Chain A
Amino acid sequence: MRFAIPAMGTRFEVVLFAGAGGTGHAQLRAAGEAVIDEIAYWHARLNRFAPDSLVSHIVRRRGEPIRLDRETYDLFADADTVWRASEGAFDITVTGRAHLIKLDGSARTITVDGDDISIDLGGIAKGHALDCARARLEDAGVTAGLIHGGTSSVVAVGRPSASSRWRVALGPDAGDDVVTLADAALSLSDPAGQREVSGSDHIVDPRARFGRPGAARPTERVAVIGPSARLADAWSTALAVLGQAPDTLPIGYDARFLPGLVGAHPDAAAAI
């Protein structure tokens, strides 16, 4: 059974198997719709283009601490962690101004300083929505399913059968690398991907604004696999900018740089 929703500038899709976990058709549909509702919820909260989103509210109230629920606070905390660990290669302000976002864990608030700062959660928002969607699926007792956001962010829930794993191709062609997933998330960052569609870069090096050494136009195509789609998305963006894996990838995460030509790396699936 398939469900889909346009959100976060792309198309999210959910694939569930009737009978998975003993779930009937109507119940499975309800579970799939709960997942779609969850993605719509986060789209509404995190959309920087919508005036009624939480992100717009935070930016509009710059200089004031804004209270966050636990899930949203954890999202910003993860963004902050990856920003620090990647030395600014991942930056939700895009313009190298993430140091102007202050988090207070005890009060669970966020404060944005700076007059012209904006927040673009980009891929980490997609990953966050996928993680929350997976939680809704598990709440509903569904033990097997695949959810993706724009095909570049994927969450695999369980396995399609006891002896198999979800097979995800890293490109549209028959010869493209394939990774296999079970209870894991995959994020693929390809600086050339959006450029081919829109003619502009969707991954930029935030450090370039300040002329830092090493800052350059990102060209690396990278896949990250790990337990959380949110962290996998943040790290794949950071690594596409950095061009190399740092020593600080969290435990449980694996990354592989892929050649620009899709399908040219025969070891990608096995290595990842």
Chain B
Amino acid sequence: MLLPPSDRRTFLTRTVGALGVTMLRPDISDLLPRLQGPPIRLAVVGAGRHGRAIIAELQKIEQVQIAAVCDTSPSRLDTAVGRATGAEGFADHRELLARRDDVEAVIVATPTHTHRPIVEDVLAAGRHVYCEAPIAATIDDCQALAAAVTSATTVCQAGLLGRSNPTYRRAQPLVRTELRDLVSLAGHANRKTSWRFPASGGSSEGEMNWRLDPEVSTGLAGEVGVQQFDVAHWFRREYPTRVSGRGAIRLHQDGRTIADSIDLDFTWADGITLRYDATLASSYGGQYELIRGANATIRLAWTHGWMFKEADAPTQGWEVYATRQEIFGEEGIVLIANATQLAAQGDLESGVGLPHPSLYYALVDFVRSATEGAPVACPLDEGARASIVAILANQAVVSGQPVDIPAFTA
């Protein structure tokens, strides 16, 4: 079993007899989705590291034909065309939209500060659009995109992955039904990397390292934190009202001004807080979130999720399906919904993690919305609001001053 980075060092598994922790395992139809809609021709704009991952996951979706890829770097474009069987390469997204009217949907995976004009062009061309998060680097751009969506007739999805992750979907209703009184939230994102990329493919070092450019970067809060902040927004169904933060360069003293380590405190109107930290200086702990309640605490780590119940919490009927485990020093049970079906498909043998990365599920949701009319997993205007929260959090880090968050409707 391969555990996510957050849990490699702490995971213990053995059969035990006590009750305490519940593994959050979604239904089989969510884990291994099969789409029913017609084939769809897609284009991917932005063929960098994330574009590569997107192409790899799209190739796994039967209904998808990657008809075109687009990148301003000739060598990256050439590589991307080689990775996407049958795709035509374009250096400019406008030419792609003009020449390939058979392309029904576009995935935007360019640097954050370049999203807005591309998304606007895609919407103007009447195509479905999936935009990576954060969806823009400024509040103005986020608001402009949110406004553009209101008149769009096509699917507009933000790439906020928790919304599509089957484990997170399994956990979301439990926050209300199982935790009883919410106590607090926490999020952590720990990696050891310089966040610097070598110049290649005809792109200069500056172009490659836009994340380190204070003129356009949304920092760790934006580029990493937005995914986790959105989980809190989604679970709570409301946005925080205030954020304070600090940042420092703890390891990468290479002339950068963007903090490599940040701490944030979000506060909701009802006094609930989210404590968040992210660093590029240490990988210990990986990326995970904690939702602490009076009856139970949920720990989510993107490929895995557990619920640790308090000893005095009532036992629910669905827990009778649970397998027992010890994890993080807590003895308890593992829940596997639809265990019979999973066992029949051999999935139980492959471990407790998801059979696909979160990105795959987000792309499946997008295709399902575009071809079957399913509800959009995370509409672009919700992505805009999450992005604004992240941008304001970055402002709090940069200024060292608390920042008020405007009232949104969740």
Contacts and interface: CB of A to CB of B under 8 A. Distances in A.
A29 interface: yes
Interface string A46-73: 0101111010110010000011111100
B303 interface: yes
A51 B196 contact: no
A37 interface: yes
B190 to A, nearest CB: 15
Contacts of A140: 198-200
B198 A67 contact: no
B82 A70 contact: yes
Interface string B46-61: 0001001001100110
Nearest to A29: B194
Interface stretch (B153-161, B315-323, B350-358, B369-377): B350-358
Contacts of B56: 45, 54, 69
Given A25-B254, A69-B84, A139-B200, A51 B60 contact: no
Given A50-B2, A52-B303, A70-B82, A31 B198 contact: yes
Given A25-B254, A52-B357, A30 B197 contact: yes
Contact of A47 (B2, B254, B255, B345): B2
Nearest to B64: A67
Contact of B197 (A34, A45, A66, A142): A34
A46 to B, nearest CB: 12
A70 B209 CA distance: 27
Contact of A141 (B52, B198, B303): B198
Nearest to B345: A60
A133 to B, nearest CB: 13
Contact of B194 (A30, A52, A67): A30
B32 interface: yes
Q: Place the interface of chain A in its size category.
A: 20 to 34
Interface residues of B, number: 38
A26 B324 CA distance: 48
Contacts, number: 91
B59 A33 contact: no
Contacts of B200: 139-141
A51 B351 contact: yes
A165 interface: no
A33 B196 CA distance: 8
A27 interface: yes
A50 B1 CA distance: 6
A229 B235 CA distance: 48
B194 A69 contact: no
B32 A107 contact: no
Contacts of A52: 303, 353-357, 360
B347 interface: yes
A33 B283 CA distance: 14
A139 B254 contact: no
Contact of A66 (B1, B60, B346): B60
A81 B150 CA distance: 55
Nearest to A6: B8
A38 B262 CA distance: 27
Contacts of B351: 49-51
Contact of B350 (A27, A54, A56): A56
Contacts of B196: 26-27, 29-30, 33
A108 to B, nearest CB: 5
25 contacts: A26-B196, A26-B254, A29-B194, A29-B196, A30-B197, A30-B198, A33-B196, A44-B357, A49-B1, A50-B353, A51-B2, A51-B353, A52-B357, A54-B56, A56-B355, A60-B345, A66-B60, A67-B59, A69-B56, A107-B85, A108-B85, A139-B200, A140-B199, A141-B198, A141-B200
Given A50-B2, A57-B356, A71-B83, 7 more contacts: A27-B198, A30-B198, A30-B209, A41-B52, A47-B2, A107-B85, A139-B200
Interface of B: 1-2, 32, 49, 52, 55-56, 59-60, 75, 82-85, 193-194, 196-201, 205, 209, 254-255, 303, 345-347, 350-351, 353-357, 360
Q: A-B pairs with the 4 shortest C-beta distances?
A: A140-B198, A69-B83, A50-B2, A51-B350
